[in-house]
Amino acid sequence: MKLWGGRFSKNTDELMDDFNSSIHFDSRMYRQDILGSAAHVKMLGSCGIIAQNDAELIYKTLFEILEDIENGKVEYEVSAEDIHMNIETLLINRIGNVGKQLHTGRSRNDQVALDIRMYLKDEIITLKTMLKNLLEVLLRISEENLDTIMPGYTHLQKAQPITLAHHHMAYFQMFKRDIERLNDCTKRMNIMPLGSGALAGTTYPLNRQMVASELGFDSVTSNSLDGVSDRDFAIELASCLSIIMMHLSRFSEEIILWCTEEFSFIELDDAYSTGSSIMPQKKNPDVAELVRGKTGRVYGSLLSLLTVMKGLPLAYNKDMQEDKEAIFNAVDTVKLCLPIFTKMLDTMKINKESMYNAARGGFTNATDMADYLVKKGIPFRDSHEIIGRMVTYCLGKNISIDDMSMDEFKTFSDLIENDVYTAINLTTCVNERKITGGPAKESVIEQIKIGKEYISCDFL
């Protein structure tokens, strides 16, 4: 008989059991369910709501069940619907009537709200560790490439010279914000809903604060209807995860371009590349492509969650059982992508020469050439026009600005002197941009220093 079977005169159809059951996806919350129940029963005992020795027996048995689950000794029943009722059934099978007191002052509605919060809080810690590993690799590559000049792009057209360090530190900022967003999301997740009951709280004098402290929550929810029907925290997390994937996907796109023959900026390690079954020469960036592809799945989870919630009247509705697969899938996907992306990055070979040549070839110092004339007293707009003509001239001869002779320079402006060669040298162009946040070596060293301080602080 079902735990809620009293009101019913016949069994549910087998098809109904399968349709209604969530055990095959919510069983992963077994640990949180047991810890939540243990805290609840400890409180019931200490508040005198049930006998102390009964509370102790339930508490002890719950941990025996936990151990059995972890040793693979437990088989779940689809007919027991979900992880919450499966564990309660196991408890009652083991200790009979005493076990039937566990659910006093509680509903599955506040129980499931508690379990998901606990489960996701744990997952966020893992995600932050993974992001931290990625930040460490970005710092390492940046430190080693402070002088690695490459073209910076706008519109995917070569724009101005930067360094690989400056480029990677941009991603550092993005993934750092992702950690901050996860921390922020945790604040609103870390509020304890037990005591909300099914929707209208409970008449038992539960000590909610005690349960919250026992389980590491900052506070308790302030309204029982909201306590059981709020899934904002899952939506917020799915949104944080979508942004992480968007960042990984943009980076992947660059990696994919960079390892083409045309760019040849990097070579991926064999361990993180694949071949083609027909074309023997191929070495494909599958990691980056799969990460880019899986981004869609995480966005999909966010959209599912928003759509599941949009029409729900207060308070709990069974629709909300659909929250789990969506958020679990998003979490799993990001947990799959972050470590392999980090390893791919950590092992890639950087072709400094190709990067330098690409920066040299694309008139990336044209702005600096214009600034040179401004420093000699020509207004910027006029200078811009002169250099525009200079670029057209160089394109016609298939040379770079710095390849021109002094005589050629003089045909554009007699203010140009020999010091032009140093002024438009790529290293000068980069290192003169010492403004805070700029690509100059000294500026990037400062960014790295602040970055290192960040990852050594206690954000986990």
Q: Name the residues that contact ligand ARG, by CB under 6 A.
A: 22, 26, 82, 108-109, 112, 316, 318, 320-321
Question: Is 155 among the catalytic positions?
Answer: yes
Smallest distance from ligand ARG to CB 26, Å: 6
Closest CB to ligand ARG among residues 108, 167: 108
Closest CB to ligand ARG among residues 110, 371: 110
Closest CB to ligand ARG among residues 82, 178: 82
Catalytic residue, from 24, 46, 219, 276: name it.
276
Closest CB to ligand ARG among residues 101, 111: 111
Closest CB to ligand ARG among residues 319, 417: 319
| Residues 252 and 292 sit within 8 Å (Cβ to Cβ) | yes
Closest CB to ligand ARG among residues 160, 229: 229
Smallest distance from ligand ARG to CB 12, Å: 13
Question: Is 276 among the catalytic positions?
Answer: yes
User: Rounded to 5 degrees, what are φ and ψ at 265?
Assistant: -80, -30
3-state SS, one letter per residue, for the chain: CCCCHHHCCCCCCHHHHHHHCCHHHHHHHHHHHHHHHHHHHHHHHHCCCCCHHHHHHHHHHHHHHHHHHHCCCCCCCHHHCCHHHHHHHHHHHHHHHHHHHCCCCCCHHHHHHHHHHHHHHHHHHHHHHHHHHHHHHHHHHHHHCCCCEEEEEECCEEEEEEEHHHHHHHHHHHHHHHHHHHHHHHHHHCEECCCCCCCCCCCCCCCHHHHHHHCCCCEECCCHHHHHHCCHHHHHHHHHHHHHHHHHHHHHHHHHHHCCCCCCCEECCHHHCECCCCCCCCCECHHHHHHHHHHHHHHHHHHHHHHHHHCCCCCCCHHHHHHHHHHHHHHHHHHHHHHHHHHHHHHCEECHHHHHHHHHHCCCCHHHHHHHHHHCCCCHHHHHHHHHHHHHHHHHHCCCHHHCCHHHHHHHCCCCCCCHHHHCCHHHHHHCCCCCCCCCHHHHHHHHHHHHHHHHCCCC
Closest CB to ligand ARG among residues 77, 269: 77
Smallest distance from ligand ARG to CB 107, Å: 7
Smallest distance from ligand ARG to CB 286, Å: 36
Smallest distance from ligand ARG to CB 81, Å: 6
Smallest distance from ligand ARG to CB 27, Å: 11
- Interior angle at CA 296, CA 292 and CA 298, nearest 5: 105
Cα torsion 372, 374, 375, 376 to 10°: value is 90
Smallest distance from ligand ARG to CB 22, Å: 4
Closest CB to ligand ARG among residues 82, 123: 82
Contacts of 88 (CB under 8 A, 6+ apart): 3, 37, 99, 102, 103
Catalytic residue, from 9, 155, 405, 456: name it.
155
Active site residues: 155, 276
